[in-house]
Structure 1
Amino acid sequence: MSHLQQPVPPTLPQTRQALRQHVRQLRQQLSAAEQTEAATELAHHISGNDSLLAKQHFALYLANDAELNTEPLIKALWQAGKDVYLPVLHPFCPGYLLFLHYDRSSVMQINRFNIPEPQLNCARVMPVAALDIIFTPLVAFDAIGNRLGMGGGFYDRTLAQLPADSGCQVIGLAHNCQQVAAVPVAAWDIPLQQLITPAKYFDFR
């Protein structure tokens, strides 16, 4: 999907960091009521999507830094009998993620970014290519599917492992305010296939 990417401007690092800071501030300004409404709307959108609900293995994330809250969605997926997985910082391959099965009995720990993650248990690891849907967090996105993350590159490196013929759908989740006119693209960025906000469904394929 590299044809979606736009030319990299000369001031790429500065531009990306300024955009990242600006959009993070926008979502941090959302009130608790707005966050709750957005999370509820997201869960309703996805729960009512027959195509998505036909899948079984869903990777999500736990919200941090005013990201779109996934807890109502996780509960809805559990209620529908779906398997949910959360990212864990890879213990042996720095910069990569593992996805571990997550349920109400999961033992959680706080990682070095102060984000809760399931305690590592190799028996609960799901290979990335075996997931049906990976819902990814992000800082900003544009109308052609370019995604700006927090800058660590964890999702880009991990998603790059997906084979070209993988049936796994990568879907971004974001607040409405996180859409921007254009995301400055770097060579390592993995564009989104789809994205869902509380107000809209985007298909970039």
Structure 2
Amino acid sequence: METRQQIRSQIRKIRRNLTALQQTQAERLVTRQALHFIEQHQAEHIALYLSFDGEISTQSLINALWQQGKSVYLPVLHPFSQGHLLFLAYMPTTQMQVNAFGILEPQLDIRAVWPSEQLDIIFTPLVAFDQQKNRLGMGGGFYDRTLENWQQKHFIPVGLAHACQQVDMLPVESWDIPLFDILIG
């Protein structure tokens, strides 16, 4: 079986090589599925992420949620608790900055922080996934820490992925947290 790092490297390369048309089609498909999922679960507080490194774009979904009057939140690297995420309200006027990983995130404003336990859905990025809904992230464990014991919390964790990111079986570690569902574009 391939190592986690080999899978990460291979899938990230495949994902980055998707054409603009493939990216657009995947975004449309995942946006439709996500809006249906949100409606099914009567979700009002939704955490998303801004795509990076070939991930499916979430911009259409974010725009649709804003139009529906839903609250959208983005992850921010926690300034005091290393390896953890905070979720901040995200609106068209939110001031953004680039974090340590080169990813855009809202500027930290304590008034915009929303407790993860009060989110309805957390849509997560991922590098690879398998049929058991295991996810392989970028390797920092940020989402694994956030999703720990999610069954006892209010939110539902859902991955967003391109079909090319599915593998037969991921090597799973004790800290890996399987998702509730994965929407595939």
Question: Take 1:182 and 1:161, find their aligned partners in 2: how far apart are those partners?
Answer: 22
Q: Does 1:83 align with 2:71?
A: yes
Residue 62 (structure 1) aligns with: 50
Residue 202 (structure 1) aligns with: none
Residue 27 (structure 1) aligns with: 15
Question: Take 1:59 and 1:197, find their aligned partners in 2: how far apart are those partners?
Answer: 18
The 3 A distance-change label for structure 1 pair 166 and 124 is same
**Structure 2 SS opposite 1:152:** coil
Residue 148 (structure 1) aligns with: 136
For residue 161 of structure 1, report the CA deviation from its aligned partner.
Answer: 6.3
Structure number with larger C-alpha Rg: 1
Q: Does 1:195 align with 2:182?
A: yes
Provide, for residues 30-52 of structure 1, a one-character-per-residue CA deviation record: whole Å limited to 9, x for no partner: 00111111112211222234314
Moved more, 114-123 or 37-46: 37-46
Q: Does 1:42 align with 2:30?
A: yes
Residue 95 (structure 1) aligns with: 83
Q: Percent identity?
A: 51
For residue 152 of structure 1, report the CA deviation from its aligned partner.
Answer: 0.6
Moved more, 35-44 or 137-146: 35-44
**Structure 2 SS opposite 1:73:** helix
For residue 74 of structure 1, report the CA deviation from its aligned partner.
Answer: 0.5
Residue 111 (structure 2) aligns with: 123
Say what the alpha-carbon RMSD is for the aligned residues: 1.4
* Aligned length in residues: 184
Corresponding letter in the other structure for 2:163? N
TM-score by length of 1: 0.86
For residue 138 of structure 1, report the CA deviation from its aligned partner.
Answer: 0.3
- Residue among 166, 169, 172 paired with 1:185: 172
Structure 1 unpaired stretches of 5+: 1-8, 199-205
Question: Take 1:166 and 1:188, find their aligned partners in 2: how far apart are those partners?
Answer: 17
